[in-house]
Amino acid sequence: MTQVVIATKNKGKAKDFEALFGPLGYEVVTMFDVAPDMEIEETGITFEENAVLKAEALANALGTIVIADDSGLAVDALNGEPGVYSARYAGDHDDEANMVKLLANLQGVEDGKRTARFCCCIAIAGPNFETTTVFGTCEGEIAQEKRGTNGFGYDPIFFVPSLKRMMAELTAEEKGAISHRGNAIRKLKETLPNLIK
């Protein structure tokens, strides 16, 4: 089995990647396995900048090919917020507090006007290799309240109209089939067919 190294310290994100890469025959390795003490500051102002920054930092440290994902939720009624700052929306990286803040900021916004999308930029970097980025999105609506216990982050308040279920009510495999992360990985396979098989 070949390993794929992901520059992440988010266990939920790592699970998403396991569901996507497992069927392709890859074992997912994260920073918890290869660089637990390394902190990468996300100083970029776009998903792409941060994805590149994370992939290149870990690739340089390890001397191997590394994938990173910078992602977030863009809510139309909030002019695209929380966007790149999704992880830190309520201050600390606290999924629960982030959802509470988002629901509060959307109070009074009626159904039909609560459209949003998850965005994901994946960067792949490594020695003797030009850093490459791909994007994926997933359209949905912010529900009035939380439902479901799967996934991570904003999944319990993200309604997927095509499946009539919350993202947090999907298995990791079901989520991967429609998610921003899954769509980005499918683009990555198309873009670099010799690297990701």
Ligand X SMILES: O=P(O)(O)OP(=O)(O)OP(=O)(O)OC[C@H]1O[C@@H](n2cnc3c(O)ncnc32)[C@H](O)[C@@H]1O
Residues that bind ligand X (CB under 6 A): 8-10, 13, 42, 69-73, 86-87, 95, 98, 118, 151-155, 179, 181
Which value, in Å, is the radius of gyration of the alpha carbons in the chain?
16
> In the complex, what is the shortest distance from the CB of residue 158 to ligand X, in angstroms, rounded to a whole number?
7
69 is catalytic: no
Cβ-contact 143, 75 below 8 angstroms: no
Pick 40 or 75: Cβ nearer Mg ion: 40
Pick 126 or 136: Cβ nearer ligand X: 136
Residue 135 region, left (φ>0) first, then alpha (ψ -120 to 50), else beta? beta
Query: Can you tell me which residue has the tokens 């201050």?
Result: 91
> In the complex, what is the shortest distance from the CB of residue 5 to ligand X, in angstroms, rounded to a whole number?
13
Write out the two tokens for 179: 């998610």
Question: Residues with Cβ < 8 Å from 43, sequence gap 6 or more?
Answer: 49, 50, 53
Catalytic-labelled residue, pool 16, 33, 37, 70: 70
> In the complex, what is the shortest distance from the CB of residue 190 to ligand X, in angstroms, rounded to a whole number?
21
Residue nearest to ligand X as judged by C-beta position: 153
From the list Mg ion, ligand X, none, pick the one residue 53 interacts with, judged by a Cβ distance below 5 to 8 Å according to partner type: none
> In the complex, what is the shortest distance from the CB of residue 82 to Mg ion, in angstroms, rounded to a whole number?
13
Residue 93 Cα to chain centre, angstroms: 14
Query: What is the DSSP pairing of strand 26-29 with strand 2-6?
Result: parallel
Q: Which stretch binds Mg ion (CB under 5 A): 82-90, 97-105, 149-157, 164-172?
A: 82-90
Q: How far apart are the first and last CA of the chain?
A: 12
**Residue ranges that bind Mg ion, judged by CB under 5 A:** 87
Catalytic positions, please?
Answer: 70
